[in-house]
Amino acid sequence: MINNSQEKKTFSNSNIFTKVFALGGLEEIGKNTYCIEYGDEIIIIDAGLKFPEKSLLGVEIIIPDYQYLIINQHKIKALFITHGHEDHIGGIPFLLKKVSIPKIYSPLLASDLIKLKLKKHLSSPAIIEFNEDTKVKIGHFVVTFFAVTHSVPNSFGIFIQTPDGIIATTGDFKLDWTPLNKKTSLHKISQMGNQGVDLLLSDSTNSEVSGYTVSEKEVLKNIEFLIKNTKKRILITTFASNFNRIFWIIMLSQKLQKKVLILGKAIKNIVDIVCKKKYFDLNKNLFLKEEEVKKYPPEKVVVICTGSQGEPTSVVSKIACSNHALIEGNEQDLIIFSSRPIPGNAFALENIINKLKKKGVEVQVSSEFNCLHTSGHACQEEQKIMLSLLKPTYFMPIHGEYRMLKIHGQTAVETGIDRKNVFICRNGDQIYLKNHQAWKGNYFPVQPVYIGKDYQIEESMQTLSERQLMLQNGIIAIVIFVDLKNKKLWQSPKFIVRGSFYLKNESFFAQKLSEAVILEINENLDKYLFSLEKLSEKIRNLAMNLIYQEKKIHPLVHPIILTKNN
């Protein structure tokens, strides 16, 4: 980072520079949406969603606030997708309702998944499939790709050449030396590192975990041992997003001459797409229809199903509660949980496992002694290798909660990156890049958008967002009294505060906020073209920024403008 005097000296020749910022994916796991802007050009990398915590009643999914892209619609040139997971592609249908995306560049599998999502859209952008050899020139940007290992095939990192330097993003990755699919392209990564990477954005999900991620083949070896050495019917539940594991379990079942039954909508959708496209060499007679499962001896059947997190409507939960139409659950069944509990789900899972054991079902869960699950994200030693190969001058950890970003930043310092060149950002923070130098620039508020069960109702989205903001951070109404005829305030602004945020007994901050609001109003009233709507938006953003700087919270800010003409 450079100081203000350096900025003026170095960049006085031009006011155009490259901006890098996130609308989602920072200080959280999910809704990954990253933007790179130069002049009147914006490219977007990923457009994900996030699933809510159980405390968010009535909320189905969470997406980013796309207001910045709506305002800058004319600048958007393309959307690039790193891989086909929901936290990277799930927001696309909602994004397309707000803005027009000329082109989507996507890997093969992600492309098929996106097309399925956009089936009901009357008009969809062209989806262009890329591979590791693809080179895309868009305006001032040149975009190339490198393969990475993840829990889904066709996963990529991206290099973006800009007029101000090279930006790289790893996407989601791990360094698995015995992967099920392609290895991470270390040679290509090293080449780019030698050429010179100015700013790196990298996956921070497992930044708190030391060592290396366990290989996926180690997990499958343990699952194969269980399948081979039991006379029971095998039921395996894992994350529906773990495409690689699901399909290698299917291929393992084929090798062991067992039939496969797929139960659960999320997994069925994935299997249908992959089978149609023939990503794997599978016998079409391998799969059972639901009504056929009872025709085969238990030891001849492998069921892959939903329920790895104890979801109430999942297949495993229904079996545990004796509510499943096909599978009763008894001594003839072995259920393998090839997953780990997401924080907050442990209690529900323990309850389900207890119910299964009461029914006589044998249950196997992953542990350090019985590794039945591994992450698709890099641990600390793998992150160090990536940092060492790319050798970025500046580093911005992404895809992680605050503590994860912070630890990843420390790991970067350990590999030799200057501490002042590590940017720990929140959604809305802008990193400016000019002539291979970077610094933290402006911030604009980016709130999560909460979507209810009726995904089509815009009003419900706004209501849920505001309800959550008020619940967590309170509400502040700013009443502004404007004399339109004389273009001046006829009374000082009033602040009405409710909820968890208060101005009471905080006279200094209240005075600071009031003075800032008055200054902003007077500056806008002096303008020849004056808009109450724009003034309201500017006051809202100003207040949200000041309150966040002082309180580190985001209350719902609601400007109310009262006018008179005489």
341 found inside a domain:
yes
Same domain, yes or no: 278 and 150 = no
Same domain, yes or no: 107 and 30 = yes
pLDDT tens column, 451-467: 877 665 444 455 556 66
Closest to 114 in 3D by CA, of 122, 123, 104, 102:
104
457 found inside a domain:
no
Count the Cβ atoms, other than its own, within 10 Å of residue 382.
22
In CATH, what number is assigned to the domain containing residue 498? 3.10.20.580
In CATH, what number is assigned to the domain containing residue 125? 3.60.15.10
104 found inside a domain:
yes
What is the rounded CA–CA span in Å between residue 299 and residue 229?
Answer: 10
Residue 35 DSSP SS3: strand
Angle at 511 (CA atoms; ends 507, 514), nearest 5 degrees: 140
239 found inside a domain:
yes
Domain boundary (365, 388, 415) is at 365
What is the rounded CA–CA span in Å between residue 158 and residue 146?
Answer: 6
Q: Given this model, what pLDDT does residue 346 score? A: 84
Length, in residues, of the chain: 566
- Indicate the pTM of the whole model: 0.78
Domain boundary (365, 398, 426) is at 365
Same domain, yes or no: 224 and 178 = no
Closest to 154 in 3D by CA, of 117, 118, 179:
179
Q: Given this model, what pLDDT does residue 521 score? A: 84
Same domain, yes or no: 69 and 151 = yes
Q: Given this model, what pLDDT does residue 359 score? A: 96
Q: Given this model, what pLDDT does residue 277 score? A: 67
Same domain, yes or no: 164 and 29 = yes
For the chain, how many structural domains are there in total? 3
Q: Given this model, what pLDDT does residue 184 score? A: 94
Q: What phi and psi values does residue 561 have, to the nearest 5 degrees? A: -105, 120
Q: Given this model, what pLDDT does residue 143 score? A: 98
In CATH, what number is assigned to the domain containing residue 351? 3.40.50.10710
Q: Given this model, what pLDDT does residue 209 score? A: 96
As given in the structure block, the two tokens for residue 15 are: 């006011």
Same domain, yes or no: 177 and 54 = yes
Same domain, yes or no: 10 and 158 = yes
128 found inside a domain:
yes
Cα-to-chain-centroid distance, residue 461: 19
Same domain, yes or no: 168 and 138 = yes
Q: Given this model, what pLDDT does residue 400 score? A: 96
Range of the domain at 16: 4-211+375-451
460 found inside a domain:
no
Same domain, yes or no: 60 and 131 = yes
Strand residue runs (E) in 141-198:
141-148, 155-162, 165-169
User: Under 8 Å CB-to-CB from 102, ≥6 apart: which residues?
Assistant: 76, 77, 78, 125, 126
168 found inside a domain:
yes
Residue 104 burial (10 A CB sphere; 0-12, 13-18, 19+): buried
Q: Given this model, what pLDDT does residue 79 score? A: 98
Closest to 170 in 3D by CA, of 139, 138, 207:
207
Domain boundary (337, 365, 393) is at 365
pLDDT (tens place) for every residue of the chain, 566 residues total: 333 333 333 433 467 999 999 999 999 999 999 999 999 999 999 999 998 876 666 778 899 999 999 999 999 999 999 999 999 999 999 999 999 999 999 999 999 999 989 987 767 899 999 999 999 999 999 999 999 999 998 999 999 999 999 999 999 999 999 888 788 999 999 999 999 999 999 999 999 999 999 999 999 999 999 999 999 999 999 988 888 899 999 999 999 999 999 999 889 888 888 777 666 677 878 999 988 988 999 999 999 999 998 888 899 999 999 999 889 999 999 999 999 888 777 888 999 999 999 999 999 999 888 899 999 999 999 999 999 999 999 999 999 999 999 999 999 999 999 999 999 999 999 999 999 999 999 999 898 888 877 665 444 455 556 666 666 677 888 898 888 878 888 888 888 887 766 665 567 777 888 888 888 888 887 765 667 888 888 888 888 888 888 777 778 888 888 888 76
Same domain, yes or no: 335 and 438 = no
180 found inside a domain:
yes
Q: Given this model, what pLDDT does residue 60 score? A: 82
Same domain, yes or no: 149 and 54 = yes
Same domain, yes or no: 233 and 251 = yes
